[in-house]
Amino acid sequence: MSRDPASRLQPGSPNQNWVRILLISLFVFLLAAFVYSKFAPHTPAVNLSYSQFQDKVSQHGVGDAVLDNATGNITGTLKDGQAYVVSGPNPVTSQEVTSITSKGVGLSFVTTSNSWLQALMPYIFFFIVFGGIFLWMRKSAQGQMSAISSIGRSRARLYSTERPRTTFDDVAGYTGVKAEISEVVDFLKNPGRFSDIGAKIPKGILLVGPPGTGKTLIARAVAGEAGVPFLSVSGSDFMEMFVGVGASRVRDMFQTARKQAPAIVFVDEIDSIGRKRGAGLGGGHDEREQTLNQMLSEMDGFEATEGIVMMAATNRPDILDPALLRPGRFDRQVVVPLPDLDERLPILEVHCRDKRISNDVDLSIVARGTPGMSGADLANLVNEAALHAVRRSSSVIEMEDFEAARDRVLMGQRRESLALTDQEKERISYHEGGHAILAYALDNADPVHKVTILPSGMALGVTQQLPLEERHIYSREYIEDSLAVSMGGRVAEMLIYKNYSTGANNDLVSATELAHKMVREWGMSERIGPMAWGSQGMVFLGEDLMHSRDYSEDTSRIIDEEVERILREQEERAFDILTSLQKGLNAVANALLEKETIDGDEVGRLVDEATGKVVSLNKGTSLSLKSSSSKTLDSELETPSVSMSDVD
């Protein structure tokens, strides 16, 4: 089959490559010939004046001579073998020729003429050099013009020839989320079912959830299930230094979507362009607001029957512009929360598919021991377990690797190079022992999982607690016990050493924040009553720049007094409990000094043996990857609680 002649000169074609190779070879050959003709080595010759040459001839010192009729130059060798060059008269007269030959000099004549190649070589060389520079500058200018002309085009990545292969089967857990957005899949597969009855699919679906919960994966699964093109773009791709570029890219993206319809347009991190208009220091960002305005217009302009579904993901729905969330635009919000116990197991199974897992590993136990972790956290946990198995030269991942990986994720990497003095180790032992004993003695506190005085991450010592069951609301008693446990390290130091140290800084920060929430947000203060003000707004939203609170100075003073009262009451409570269990505190501290790390079961045993009685009857066994675990305090603190002595 014959090829199209025009294709022979297409960029990157074999014919064009051969032409380029031939031109480069010709240029190299011409350059080598020119350089060789100019700089080729010659036999050194002595320059003689014409009078000196005549003297040599009259003295019979010249062996032979070659006379150039064109230039008058005379070359040859003397009788002593020395080559010479003479610039003779031009033209040479017959008398001069006779005077040379009469002295016995062998005279011959030549007529030289410059080669046309040699004559044109300098011009060819400079033509090629300057021509190459000109072509390079022209190509560079064309590239810049092309970049400028295409700057308004959308940067959305279109998956059309290879449609997304991700399906709902690849999204582990989240049964409720998948059921909620399954209508989108049904609409894209069978739009006639909806149009016949007069139903309209939501034009926009906003996926809301914490980072790492798989919002982008769910959007790809929707496209894979529906078998339609999938346009993916990040919110930051719309912003550029030139005015109007963002709006132009939005228009181009929707034009592309209409050509590919039915299709899904997915905007990741939409809060980067969808923030509230007119907010921020010094007024709003005009370019960002114009981009948002264009997106609002495009979303409200096309009809649902065109088969275009807009999806977006964000973890900050509170800062989005209200016009973006109204019906007709992003009129459905799908919450993608952190996975619960039943969802963590299938997520772990997905991430363990390509791993060598030992037969003794029970992923259901691992799932129970990882409360509050997102899908990304679980993937990182499995990878950390694999790395730990490699470090100990194991060919499979065992249960101890998952245990070490969880400690690495929750407490940080152990710092082997940090050397502590004996006095520091002893103080840290009593500090962590105070946390551990209160967690064991208080009925509503989460059980102790592990206590260590080995420096990990930024902490010098760590007391790790894991709850026994899934919690979604928290009682006042639970919060107060948590505050008492936070005060345990500081109180233990005061009880033993009669002074305080800087090791309780992290405990005090977390306890003060929790007490503030009790008073300002949860209505757990008798003096404040059933009022809540929420957390402080962010300055970058422009909402709290000039107005940071909506209560009076007297109320602010009462809040401070109530926070102080709550913290002092829990500190006194912790002091009374540790005073009564001081023998147990000494036993736990000595065990930490000896072993450096003990588990929750050993803490309970040491306290009971030292005091001669069972201190806590309602506590379950300490949690490890050999027992169950769950969430911890507050929706904002959904990871296992960790009490620690402060950073060094």
Tens digits of residue pLDDT in 394-420: 889 988 888 888 878 777 666 666 777
Q: Which amino acid is at 173?
A: G
Contact in structure between 574 and 482 (CB atoms under 8 Å): no
Which of these is catalytic: 287, 432, 480, 571? 432
Mean pLDDT of 464-484: 83
Give the pLDDT score at 544: 44
Tokens of 603: 């803490």
Is pLDDT at 531 greater than 70 in this prediction?
Answer: yes
**Residue 433 to residues 158, 407, 453, 639, Cα–Cα distance (Å):** 57, 19, 10, 22
Give 133's pLDDT tier (boundaries 50, 70, 90): confident
User: Does the active-site annotation cover 594?
Assistant: no
Structure confidence by residue, pLDDT tens digits, 376-394: 888 889 998 999 899 888 8
Domain 343-411 top-level CATH class: mainly alpha
**Bond before 91 cis per omega within 30 degrees:** yes
Is pLDDT at 13 greater than 60 in this prediction?
Answer: no
Rounded distance between C-alpha atoms, residue 533 and residue 550, angstroms? 8
Give 435's pLDDT tier (boundaries 50, 70, 90): very high
Domain spans in the chain, listed from the N-terminal domain onward: 46-110, 157-335, 343-411, 422-535+552-645
**Residue 492 to residues 45, 506, 598, 616, 642, Cα–Cα distance (Å):** 102, 15, 18, 19, 17
Is pLDDT at 2 greater than 60 in this prediction?
Answer: no
Contact in structure between 232 and 268 (CB atoms under 8 Å): yes
Give 142's pLDDT tier (boundaries 50, 70, 90): low
Distance of CA 115 to the CA centre of its chain: 65
Give the pLDDT score at 295: 76
Contact in structure between 63 and 77 (CB atoms under 8 Å): yes
Tokens of 461: 């010592």
Rounded distance between C-alpha atoms, residue 318 and residue 184, angstroms? 24
CATH fold for domain 46-110: 3.30.720
Report percent pLDDT > 70 for the chain.
73
Give the pLDDT score at 577: 92
Q: Which residue has the higher pLDDT, 507 or 139?
A: 507
CATH fold for domain 157-335: Rossmann fold (3.40.50)
Is pLDDT at 9 greater than 60 in this prediction?
Answer: no
C-alpha gyration radius of the chain? 43
* Alpha helices by DSSP H, 498-599: 505-520, 553-580, 582-595
Distance of CA 341 to the CA centre of its chain: 28
Is pLDDT at 634 greater than 90 in this prediction?
Answer: no
Give the pLDDT score at 213: 83
Burial readout 108-120 (b: 16 or more C-beta within 10 A, e: otherwise): eeeeeeeeeeeee
- Beta-bridged to residue 268, according to DSSP, are 234, 313
Rounded distance between C-alpha atoms, residue 432 and residue 507, angstroms? 11
Give 306's pLDDT tier (boundaries 50, 70, 90): low
Tokens of 368: 């129970």
Contact in structure between 574 and 487 (CB atoms under 8 Å): yes
Rounded distance between C-alpha atoms, residue 427 and residue 414, angstroms? 19
Pairing of strands 157-159, 73-78: unpaired
Rounded distance between C-alpha atoms, residue 419 and residue 607, angstroms? 29
Taking the CA atoms of residue 340, residue 345, residue 347 and residue 350 in that order, the dihedral angle to the nearest 10 degrees is -170
Contact in structure between 258 and 276 (CB atoms under 8 Å): no
- Pick from 484, 389, 376, 489: which is nearest to 430 by CA? 489
**465 phi and psi, to 5 degrees?**
-120, 140
Is pLDDT at 51 greater than 90 in this prediction?
Answer: no
For 15, how many CA atoms within 13 A lie in the half-sphere containing its CB?
A: 8
Contact in structure between 336 and 218 (CB atoms under 8 Å): yes
Distant-in-sequence, close-in-space partners of 465: CB < 8 Å, separation ≥ 6: 439, 445, 446, 447, 448, 449, 485, 632, 640, 641, 642, 643
Q: Which residue has the higher pLDDT, 165 or 408?
A: 408
- Beta-bridged to residue 602, according to DSSP, are none
Q: For the ranges 28-32, 48-52, 476-480, 551-555, which has the lowest average pLDDT?
A: 28-32
- Evaluated on CA atoms 445, 450, 451, 456, the torsion sign reads negative
- Evaluated on CA atoms 428, 431, 435, 440, the torsion sign reads positive
CATH code for the part of the protein at 422-535+552-645:
1.20.58.760
